[in-house]
Amino acid sequence: MATYRFDLNKDYSEKLENLAAEKHMNVQDFIRFKIFNETTIFTVDEAVKRIQNGEFENTEFTLPDVYGEDEWTIERGPAGVFGKNFYNHITNHPDLGIRFVPDRTFKRRAVYTYKKKEGDQIE
């Protein structure tokens, strides 16, 4: 695999990080998205949508459960980054109803629960 490096000054570095954060992506995925118009199902927004539209209310689940065996094709390293981004997002947005279950893991994966708020409408 080829590796490319480029340098950014502080202003551009912060701008890139902020743009990636607005899309709930890490910088590497954001660059792929912008340059190659590459999209993936492994985004925070997609995971939240699947959880809120799925059968996850009042049950414990992990991110691979959200995608199912057939779709969970993400490799271990990128899966960890995705998991960390997801955790950070739901922690910063408790209004989503998705909660991390502390001191509970399944196969080294974080465990979550979801409780829909009354009046929530999923789009």
Express each pLDDT in 23-76 by its tens digit.
888 888 889 889 998 888 999 999 999 999 989 999 999 999 999 999 999 988
> Looking at residue 104, what is its pLDDT?
85
Residues 6+ apart with CB under 8 A from 63: 47, 72, 79, 82, 83, 86, 109, 110, 112
Burial class (CB in 10 A: 0-12, 13-18, 19+), 22: exposed
Alpha-helix residue ranges (DSSP H) falling in 23-120: 27-36, 44-53, 63-71, 76-92
Residue with the larger pLDDT of the pair 72 and 1: 72
Average pLDDT, the chain: 90
> Looking at residue 53, what is its pLDDT?
93
| 89 contacts 24 by C-beta, under 8 angstroms | yes
**Prediction pTM value:** 0.76
